[in-house]
Chain A
């Protein structure tokens, strides 16, 4: 004469999927906030070196990117294996840098021109020759704020 009834079905109750869209939307918004739209396809292999004394680049509007590296296997036929410079979405010559800087500058209010930073994303295996040439070109163009892009180094030297 027990007062406790036996549970009828042994089957598990189905999980409600009503909240699934909310979860997925949350994920979606998270990704939308933390990522940047890919501006251009990278035609070079760029693995930045590691460093410890890093500063963060805040305003992405004020940053322009110069990539230096060797072409990826897909582009070796066109550009060869020597290190190349990529501005926006195409491989360029060093003398195109001033125009590239001006082109980026024209969308930025004048009072913020002093804060424009050039992010140099250079492959660690590249030799300094081409990097020096780019630096010289930047100096000639008056673009002096430069950020050497690097990853955080965890281990000791």
Chain B
């Protein structure tokens, strides 16, 4: 009996794999054949993140490390000191992400992850403040909507540059 069970067990061990079914869930923008006109939002509302083919980051014209990106993004969105160079309120903030075709996928995902993390942390703080619970799937949908309409994630990805063409 045990032999048969062992045989089955070993068969399953070899033919299966444990896949990590985890990842960053994103919603791509729909494809439009004719380009809509390009909007130019006020400069203070735009948080531009450029990644070049050497995996270096240029955030609002300044070179920074990936480790600082999360804090930078949060300061930009909340504008704690009400500076005139940052958006008036989080609703106006726009994240603009642009990479090169030569950027490594790991860096791209790292940057995306940090931007998402900044928003997740802000949503969490807002949920703690208003409802006393962390932001999660368990939170009623209306409450989640309320938070997300106050701090909406607006991330626009530009067509990547191609250094091999220039």
A44 CB-CB contact with B under 8 Å? no
B142 CB-CB contact with A under 8 Å? no
Cα A124 to Cα B109 with chains together (Å): 9
- Chain B interface bracket (under 10, 10 to 19, 20 to 34, 35 or more): 35 or more
Residue from A34, A136, A150 in contact with B23 in the complex, judged by beta carbons closer than 8 Å: A150
Structural contact, A55 and B9, CB atoms closer than 8 A:
no
Cα A24 to Cα B51 with chains together (Å): 52
Looking across the interface, which residue of chain A has its beta carbon closest to that of B157? A135
Cα A48 to Cα B30 with chains together (Å): 26
**A55-B24, A149-B22 given as contacts; is B105 within 8 A of A125 (CB)?**
yes
Residue from A37, A57, A126, A148 in contact with B16 in the complex, judged by beta carbons closer than 8 Å: A37
* Stretch in A1-9, A84-92, A103-111, A139-147 with 4+ CB within 8 Å of B: A139-147
B27 CB-CB contact with A under 8 Å? yes
Q: Digitize B115-131: 1 where CB-to-A-CB distance is under 8 Å, 0 elsewhere.
A: 01100100000000000
Min CB distance B160 to A, Å, is 5
A151 CB-CB contact with B under 8 Å? yes
Cα A21 to Cα B7 with chains together (Å): 11
**A138-B28, A157-B66 given as contacts; is B23 within 8 A of A127 (CB)?**
no
Which residues of the partner chain A approach B113 to less than 8 Å between Cβ atoms?
A: 51-53, 150
Residue from A17, A124, A132, A142 in contact with B160 in the complex, judged by beta carbons closer than 8 Å: A132
Q: Digitize A110-141: 1 where CB-to-B-CB distance is under 8 Å, 0 elsewhere.
A: 00000001011011111111011001101110
A36 CB-CB contact with B under 8 Å? yes
Structural contact, B120 and A53, CB atoms closer than 8 A:
yes
Cα A151 to Cα B113 with chains together (Å): 12
* Stretch in B86-94, B96-104, B144-152 with 4+ CB within 8 Å of A: B96-104
**A20-B2, A132-B160 given as contacts; is B12 within 8 A of A140 (CB)?**
no
**A35-B16, A148-B24 given as contacts; is B30 within 8 A of A49 (CB)?**
no
Min CB distance B125 to A, Å, is 15
A56 CB-CB contact with B under 8 Å? yes
- Chain A interface bracket (under 10, 10 to 19, 20 to 34, 35 or more): 35 or more
Structural contact, A56 and B22, CB atoms closer than 8 A:
yes
B141 CB-CB contact with A under 8 Å? no
Structural contact, B27 and A55, CB atoms closer than 8 A:
no
User: B residues engaging A (CB < 8 A)?
Assistant: 1-2, 4-6, 8-9, 12-13, 15-31, 53, 66-67, 99-106, 108-110, 112-114, 116-117, 120, 159-160, 162
User: A residues engaging B (CB < 8 A)?
Assistant: 17, 20-21, 24-25, 27-28, 31-32, 34-38, 48-49, 51-57, 60, 63, 68, 117, 119-120, 122-129, 131-132, 135-136, 138-140, 142-152, 156-157
Interface CB pairs A-B, < 8 A, 19: A31-B9, A31-B12, A35-B18, A38-B15, A51-B24, A53-B117, A54-B24, A56-B21, A63-B21, A117-B25, A119-B23, A125-B104, A125-B105, A127-B53, A128-B160, A146-B25, A150-B23, A150-B113, A157-B110
